[in-house]
Chain A
Amino acid sequence: MYVAVKGGERAIDAAHDWLAEERRGDRAVAELGLDQIREQMSLAVNRVMAEGSLYDPDLAALAIKQARGDLIEAIFLIRAYRTTLPRIGASRAVDTGAMRCDRRISATFKDAPGGQVLGPTFDYTHRLLDFKLAADGELPEAPESAPSEAPMPRITEFLNKDGLIQDEAVSEAVPPDMTRQPMDYPANRALRLQALTRGDEGFVLGMAYSTQRGYGRNHPFVGELRIGAVEVEMEVPELGFEICIGEVTLTECETVNQFAGSKTEPPQFTRGYGLVFGQTERKAISMALVDRALRWQELGEDNLGAPAQDEEFVLAHADNIQASGFLEHIKLPHYVDFQSELELVRRMRAGATGAMREAAE
């Protein structure tokens, strides 16, 4: 039980003033601008947008500054702000096939139409600290080549033409929204994907990794990973037609997984799907693996008792704001609870030591 305690106002005010000062750090060092965070800490901004579940790079940069770089605290700030926004509507489902890709790779098809485009990746870097960055900011211009006009079709669609991969059921059903209704189990796949895309990157990564290490093994290949900008369209009732309301950068990952077939399905490949705000590929790949692991029932696979197959376990623990809220509340005053426990332990000790004394006599 949490009991309200009065009397800390002066101390709290002083703590917050000191927090502001510590946030600023040494005043001899130039203060960070939000534009600097947005432009130069962009992957932190992307993570805050993805897990804060709100696409707004300027707000995410502000949250990171306010949180002194504590990304979970920043995500908390974004979630709190998000709840104050009136909901204008819902977009049409974005067309990731029409993405203007910065990066597009496939681990399954070397010669995919559109090619393997590496984009601005950390892959193939040697992970050696670059001391040039500690000195000046001089850098060469990135090279350019003639942009290709050719489309970049989604790679799983090739497999689909031969019926070698499970088809995605076409539907226009309005998906459930966990920000509007409390989570309900069993959740359907739409709800699972919403919970995973805003879930904690570390947690989703850990769950995905557990499936690779044998806890609910499902043999994934990255069929395709693409990162780029898509336009967001929404139907506007007062106009009676759809308009583009902006553009978001997304990371999409589709895994291709072995599937031996079931009583109703022939042997074919199956899919796991990840789609996340921003350039967030570790998270998108993780999401795809966990999505696939959670589909065991629908695909008629065995429940191996693996954590990543347990929908309630995964979804109920993926949210870092819920988790840290509950975890961190135990540091707030629990004087009354503790007092009663103290009484209880004293009474039990008195009983136990009394019994020991009697036994010794």
Chain B
Amino acid sequence: MSMTDVGNEARKGWMGLLARAPASQLAARLEGLGELPGFDWLRVPEVGGVMVRGRMGGTGAPFNLGEMTVTRCALRLESGEVGHAYVQGRDKAHAERAALVDALMQGDRAEELRAAVLAPLEAAEAETRRARAARAAATKVDFFTMVRGEA
């Protein structure tokens, strides 16, 4: 794996996290960050639909399942980094914040952002998932067989 591949893998990770994060949580995390740099729009936030596909039998040929709403945008920081966002839903401010974080993660403030934004979002997502998985686990059936008496 080349360095760019490693970089792309990390970027895929945070872009996905930003797309899934509740908009209010991301906004609260950025608020704690103080002054954010200025930027120019490369693509102003745009709401659209993405056709979600499934596979026949889960593993076979693809088919169109239906669309989901997605908001995308792209921006360039004063320092030159380009940030992209594709986030679920129709919240343009969410897309803007996600693109801003994507751009900042490519610059000098990456460590600060990882600690102040990404890590808490990741922890919150992990806890939400854990809580659901734990509730599901509590509904798992333990079968037992009644043994008929032989004596």
* Interface of A toward B, CB cutoff 8 Å: 49-50, 53-56, 58-59, 82, 85-94, 96-97, 100-103, 110-111, 115-120, 142-148, 154, 156-157, 168-179, 189-191, 193-194, 197-198, 231-232, 234, 236, 238-239, 241-248, 250, 252, 254, 271, 273, 275, 277
Contact = CB atoms under 8 A, between A and B. Distances in A.
A145 B137 contact: yes
B143 A168 contact: no
B148 interface: no
User: Interface range on chain B: under 10, 10 to 19, 20 to 34, or 35 or more?
Assistant: 35 or more
Given A96-B58, A190-B62, A147 B52 contact: no
A117 to B, nearest CB: 5
Interface string B55-83: 11111111111111110101000000000
Interface string B124-151: 0000011111111111110100000000
B52 A190 contact: no
Given A59-B69, A143-B138, A194-B65, A236 B84 contact: yes
A193 B53 CA distance: 11
Contact of B12 (A59, A90, A244): A244
Nearest to B67: A54
Nearest to A92: B53
A220 to B, nearest CB: 14
Contact of B84 (A144, A154, A238, A250): A238
Main secondary structure of the interface of A (DSSP, over half): mixed
A239 B135 CA distance: 38
Contacts of B107: none
11 contacts: A88-B48, A88-B86, A97-B58, A116-B141, A117-B139, A170-B60, A171-B60, A172-B61, A244-B20, A254-B57, A277-B65
Interface of B: 8, 11-12, 15-16, 19-20, 46-70, 72, 74, 84, 86-90, 129-141, 143
A248 B52 contact: yes
A229 B123 CA distance: 18
B62 A147 contact: no
Contact of B19 (A86, A117, A243): A243
A55 B58 CA distance: 19
A275 B65 contact: yes
Contacts of A254: 57-58
B52 A94 contact: yes
B65 A147 contact: no
Contacts of B58: 96-97, 154, 156, 168, 252, 254, 273, 275
Contacts of A238: 74, 84
A234 B62 contact: no
A232 B134 contact: no
A56 B90 contact: yes
Contact of B20 (A88, A111, A246): A246
Contacts of A194: 63-65
Contacts of B136: 101-103, 117, 119, 147
Given A55-B68, A56-B90, A245-B86, A116 B140 contact: yes
Contacts of B50: 87-91, 232, 234, 245
